[in-house]
Structure 1
Amino acid sequence: MPELPEVEALALDLQGRLDGRAIDTVYLAAFSALKTYDPPVSALSGLFVDGVGRHGKFLDIDVSGLHVVLHLARAGWIRWKDEVPTLPPRPSSKSGLAVRIVLDDGSGLDITEAGTKKSLAMYVVRDPQEVPGIASLGPDPLTDDFTREVLGEILQREGRKQVKGVLRHQGTIAGIGNAYSDEILHAAKMSPYRPASAIVDDELDLLHRAIRETVGAAVDRSRGLAASELKGEKKSNLAVHGRTGLACPVCGDVVREVSFADSSLQYCATCQTGGKPLADRRTSKFLK
């Protein structure tokens, strides 16, 4: 799933590619991807792109005052095409194509989504705050006002909720997903099950620093990369997420996993839980 660093890099990449270009046509290959009807998609034709930005994990393309807002969900991505086909795409679940944006010079964007669970969303709005997910976003962890005190207030407000879930909840803190929450907690040497309100004093300092440094470093590494390079860059710099069974790069212990119905988390027991594996019936046999 693209998270804050990847969406930030996508915005920078697309800013350079779309600057000064006008939208010719927008084709919907998956009609369920469009979540709005007013303004219509046809209103974008002939308008110039004024900028590309980000709100949490939402991508925002400013088109002469209208906004094409994209949420790539778990399996969505954007693929730049120097030349796109002239014929409208046919709806097809096999291709994975959801939306095609054709520019005035014949180049364009293919917005795709892999898998059978379709969650990718596109909104055409006059103000990004019209998108419910943007209107309810928590603070951005890279802004100057995301201070230690702000984080402390959030954790106390969330009470006994597990810190892993607090970090991932977009209405609490914007832009952090499953992968970077694993990485942040590993950097902070903290159990993903730690109650939010129990994180105070030195632990609060550690977590705040881990959020800023982990996400900030990922943004720095991604800056300037093309969309096609971002997934590889992210994967190659993860310490625990997606590395079940491999060695922790800090202590050498095996990276462990806890599985849920539709997701999983990875952690190092030595670094994060005092050497005690977290209970997980699906992986306990593997870890013995």
Structure 2
Amino acid sequence: MPELPEVTAIANFLDERAAGLPIRRVDVASLAVLKTADPPYTALAGRIVSTVGRIGKYLVITTGADDDEPLYLVIHLSRAGWVRWSANLSPTPPRPGGKGPIALRVHCGLPGEGFDVTEAGTQKRLAVWLVTDPEQVPRIAGLGPDVLSLSRESLAQILAGSSARIKNLLTDQRVIAGVGNAYSDEILHRARLSPFATAKHLSDAQIDALYEATGGILREAINRLEGPGGVSTMKAEKRSGLQIHGRTGLPCPVCGDTVAEVSFSDRSFQYCPTCQTGGRKLADRRMSRLLK
């Protein structure tokens, strides 16, 4: 799933290419991704892409027109969504309801230029809104503060008020926006914290470590993903930069212990027993506690 570093890199990539360009046409191949109908997506034709940014893990494409209020195309890439820029887009609209990965195509700039919003797999969760204010998207209105905007003091206040496990708190977008499963694993590993540590019981030293690890991991990932390969190499670049997430059974790059996993019905996370849980393994079930 694209998280804050990927969404930031995608937003910057699109902003460099699309900002200032007119939108000539929008093709919708999957009506199911459209979560709003007023204004209609056809209202984007003729508007200018002002900027491309993000709010949490949401792409926000701001468009303008003479003597008109901005319209915002908001995209949540969910688990398997992605964006592909092309200078050779087909002038023939993708077939609605087709089996291909294209959900939305935006023609902007010269003929042939623009980008596809795609979604792989059979679980279609990608979502698109066209709104006059991003806060009209209920999920955005309910987001917590952006993780990269947090000071050490504001993070400490959030932790002090929560009895949640730190893994759950970091990935709860209503509490802190931007971090998902993969980068929370990386953050907790660098901070040497158990995923099941209780947020309000962290010591000052542990809060310091968590704060430094969070900013460090995310900013390093953004810098790495914004390399010369652009969007086309971003997924591989993300995988190569992960030290713990997705590395079950491999040696921890810090201590050499075997990376362990906790699996749930639809997801899993990874950790290092030596670095994070005092050598103890976590029971592999949803309501797990440390094995004694």
Aligned with residue 202 of structure 1, among 195, 201, 205:
205
1:107-139 deviations in Å (ceiling 9; x for gaps): 111111111111101010111111112111111
Structure 1 pair 204–281 and aligned structure 2 pair: CA distance change class (3 A): closer
Match in the other structure for 1:26: 26
Q: Which residues of 2 match residues 29-178 of structure 1 at below 5 A?
A: 29-64=29-64, 65-92=70-97, 94-106=99-111, 107-143=113-149, 146-159=150-163, 161-178=164-181
1:34-59 deviations in Å (ceiling 9; x for gaps): 10111110100011111111101000
For 1:93 and 1:269, the matched residues in 2 are separated by 46
1:74-99 deviations in Å (ceiling 9; x for gaps): 11000111111111111345311111
1:137·1:172 contact (CA, 8 Å) conserved in 2? yes
Q: Which amino acid aligns with 2:25?
A: T
2:245·2:269 contact (CA, 8 Å) conserved in 1? yes
- Return the offset for 1:227: 1.0
2:2·2:79 contact (CA, 8 Å) conserved in 1? yes
Structure 1 pair 54–281 and aligned structure 2 pair: CA distance change class (3 A): closer
What is the aligned-residue RMSD (CA, Å)? 1.4
| SS across alignment from 2:148 | coil
Structure 1 pair 80–151 and aligned structure 2 pair: CA distance change class (3 A): same
Match in the other structure for 1:2: 2
Q: Which amino acid aligns with 1:276?
A: R
For 1:55 and 1:153, the matched residues in 2 are separated by 22
Q: Which amino acid aligns with 1:9?
A: A
Q: Which amino acid aligns with 2:133?
A: D
- Return the offset for 1:213: 0.9
2:29·2:98 contact (CA, 8 Å) conserved in 1? no
1:9·1:224 contact (CA, 8 Å) conserved in 2? no
Aligned with residue 194 of structure 2, among 165, 187, 191:
191
Please say if 1:228 is aligned against 2:232.
yes
For 1:51 and 1:147, the matched residues in 2 are separated by 27
For 1:40 and 1:203, the matched residues in 2 are separated by 49
**Off by >6 Å, runs of 4+ in structure 1:** none
1:269·1:275 contact (CA, 8 Å) conserved in 2? yes
- Return the offset for 1:223: 2.7
| SS across alignment from 1:158 | coil
Task: Identify the structure with bigger relative contact order (alpha carbons < 8 Å, sequence gap 6+).
Answer: 1
| SS across alignment from 1:24 | strand
Q: Specify every segment of 5 or more residues in structure 2 that has no aligned partner in the other structure, as ranges.
A: 65-69, 287-292
For 2:238 and 2:129, the matched residues in 1 are separated by 27
- Return the offset for 1:271: 0.5
Q: Name the count of aligned residue pairs.
A: 279
Q: Which amino acid aligns with 1:255?
A: V
TM-score, normalised to structure 2, is 0.92
TM-score, normalised to structure 1, is 0.94
For 1:281 and 1:74, the matched residues in 2 are separated by 22
Q: Specify every segment of 5 or more residues in structure 1 that has no aligned partner in the other structure, as ranges.
A: 283-288
- Return the offset for 1:104: 3.9
